[in-house]
Structure 1
Amino acid sequence: MNSIEIRNNRKLVISLLIVLAISSFGMTYYIFFSASSNTNIVIKLIYFILNAFLIKTIYGQANVVIKDKPVLIFSKSEIEIYQNGKYVSFLWSLVVNCKVEKEADGVTHYLTIETAGEKIVINISWLEKSPVEIEKLLNMYKMK
């Protein structure tokens, strides 16, 4: 077993991106083009700025899904995490602590990796493998 790559759950992420895009277009229509919406210019400006951030987020996530890059790569010697457009590697020998944690809502799971000088926390709820499967892989590769 050389390495295992874990990607985003494409169906789930694409569904969410479609819902966000449709709601963005719907709100844009309502705010700017609807005759019943007589909002002032300040509200329109604030909405425009917030909508620009939403579109940037949708575009960034769509790129990750389209490129189909692995989010986590487990190998004998290291774990790689795709974060902020680049891979960050951690050698297993330097990892002090790694665990899967559940948030209080019971739905969101995070992978926490700690080394002597760094701590990274990533959301693993949107991945193609369940948090339980990721935890098993984590224990299996960490033991090697």
Structure 2
Amino acid sequence: MIQLILARHAKSDWADEGLDDHERPLNDRGRREAPAMARSALRRGVRPEVLLTSTAVRARSTAAAFAEEFEVDMTEQPELYLADADALLETARATGAHEVMVVAHDPGMSELVSRLAERDVRMVTSAVAIFTWHEGDWNDVGTTAPDEFELLTP
């Protein structure tokens, strides 16, 4: 079984216009939604072995809420910051783990989710896409339709 969980970071704070994009924190809504979405995913039986996150502050903060709820360590991956769909998938695949969560950014996140779901999917902030392949391995991800797909939105 392969389970790939893709989460777009929670809502970020744009109040400080001079702040570098990489350093933008979550706003109040984002700080509320990240743990709520983590609990929602957990109720559906999601518990990744590996949790990867972009190094951006807003992604790391989102991932930290999931890591706490799932009781798993998170690993920062610089290549996930503003990564395209192919880079997101390759980073997850490279772990070799059966259950992997990636917290990153759009437009790459929406592109990858749409590709795997075989339909247009807009990943709003805090959205979580859960893909499951009951048979096969990482070579099937992206070439074979998933057995299950669920999109969680705030």
Coarse TM-score class (shorter-chain normalised): under 0.3
Which is helix-richer, 1 or 2? 1
Higher-RCO chain (CA-CA 8 Å, sequence separation at least 6): 2
Which is strand-richer, 1 or 2? 1
- Which has the greater radius of gyration? 1
TM-score w.r.t. the length of structure 1 is 0.25
TM-score w.r.t. the length of structure 2 is 0.24
